[in-house]
Amino acid sequence: MSIFTVIMLTMYTRRLPLPERTFFLFGPRGTGKSTWLRQQLPGATWFDLLRLQTVLDLSRNPELFRARVEALPKGSWVVVDEVQRMPALLDEVHAMIAEYGSRYRFALSGSSARKLRRLDTNLLAGRAVTRHFFPLTGAELGYAFDLDDLLGNGCLPQIRSEPAAAHDLLDAYVGTYLREEIQQEALARDMGVFARFLAVAALCNGQVVNVAGVARDAGVARPTVARFFEVLVDTLIGTWLPAWTPRARIKEVQHPKFYLFDTGVTRALAGRTREPLEGAERGHLLETLIFHELRAAMNEQGLGGALSYWRTPSGTEVDFVWERGKRRVGIEVKASGVWRREHGTSLATLREEGAISSAVAVYTGQERLKDRGIQVYPVRDFLRALTTGEVLGS
């Protein structure tokens, strides 16, 4: 175990509960999946597929994996780290679960679902649960952060652990991602074209995406841009946020928004790592941070449901709508230190019409407020309320 891993274990306690049965753990590279697994399962048998020697050994002797697992006592945990690098191992895991039931438990981590899906890989036919890993949340940081620093440099564990080196680390992360996740998986033939696309995609963060417009700006064919966005989603770097259409009588925007998974990575991809944080980018970056927190809370608390956004062609918008069954929570995000009545107009309208069950807003001010039934939170208060279940709970 490296010195850095030891530091990470002592600095941050991740809130994701360990499943009791075999599970997949998906998350972008650098979010701390391996560190968390080593913390949670210190006695596990480990297959690290980032190590070339491990891959070579298993490739030369495919029976080695089963032989090592079958030698373990009942109830043992087996970790396969970056399982997408050898998808065929999942067939062996499936066979052993079918043969031995719960005698062995597997933790199967991955930073890309693309190869698994492309190869129509066996995902254990429902015998494993799926969990997702994210950058650090406000709760995991103990709510001790400078908001501008969080928006500018993001929440990756190494960035938070070494803030003085944040700019260099973010630049290195982007370079590593391009080299390892794209080149090694042969997802893009022309890396220059893909790099140009990434810079444009970063500028689209938090916005409704017009693929044709992105293609023009990046100088790339539209089908290629669509495939590149698919690459970002499959490698867990980006996420589509679909449009919500609750009212058939009103024409609503149908195109999805696109969010990158971390504010610091977003700025690094846009080439703004060393630039001061500007007012024009604060709004989308704060939305990105809140989107990350919402997804992490849904995952950690087992809430289920789905996130979307609502907008009409006239520009009326609610940033996020969380929906599960009959419960719908509208969430508006404003990068403003002063809450103004017009900030809550869209939320209040949806609430008055009964389209949402409750309305919540986040702003960068210091006081909790109530506006026409809308609970208005400062950022830290919102993150605390999200953690305790006050925002999305029943």
| Residue 247 pLDDT | 57
Nearest-angstrom CA–CA distance, 24 and 108: 5
| Residue 190 pLDDT | 67
| Residue 5 pLDDT | 43
| pLDDT band per the 50, 70, 90 thresholds, residue 187 | low
| pLDDT band per the 50, 70, 90 thresholds, residue 232 | confident
Q: Exposure of 2 by Cβ count < 10 A (0-12 exposed, 13-18 middle, 19+ buried)?
A: exposed
pLDDT digits (tens, 9 = 90+) for 203-221: 899 999 888 888 888 788 8
| pLDDT band per the 50, 70, 90 thresholds, residue 75 | very high
The H or E element spanning position 198 is: helix 191-203
How many other CB atoms are there within 10 angstroms of residue 147's CB atom? Answer: 18
Whether the model clears a pTM of 0.85, i.e. scores above it, the answer is yes
Mean pLDDT of 68-96: 93
Residue 226 predicted with pLDDT over 50: yes
Q: 3-132 has which CATH code?
A: 3.40.50.300
| Residue 184 pLDDT | 57
| Residue 394 pLDDT | 61
Residue 128 predicted with pLDDT over 50: yes
Nearest-angstrom CA–CA distance, 310 and 213: 21
Percent of the chain with pLDDT over 70: 88
Residue 308 predicted with pLDDT over 70: yes
Residue 6 predicted with pLDDT over 50: no
| pLDDT band per the 50, 70, 90 thresholds, residue 8 | very low
Q: Exposure of 324 by Cβ count < 10 A (0-12 exposed, 13-18 middle, 19+ buried)?
A: middle
pLDDT mean across residues, the chain: 88
| Residue 122 pLDDT | 56
| pLDDT band per the 50, 70, 90 thresholds, residue 316 | confident
| Residue 149 pLDDT | 95
Those residues with Cβ within 8 angstroms of residue 69's Cβ, 6 or more apart along the chain or in another chain: 45, 76, 78, 96, 104
Mean pLDDT of 41-61: 94
* Residue 257: both structure tokens together: 């928004």
| Residue 372 pLDDT | 92
Nearest-angstrom CA–CA distance, 93 and 124: 8
Which residues of the chain form CATH 3.40.50.300? 3-132
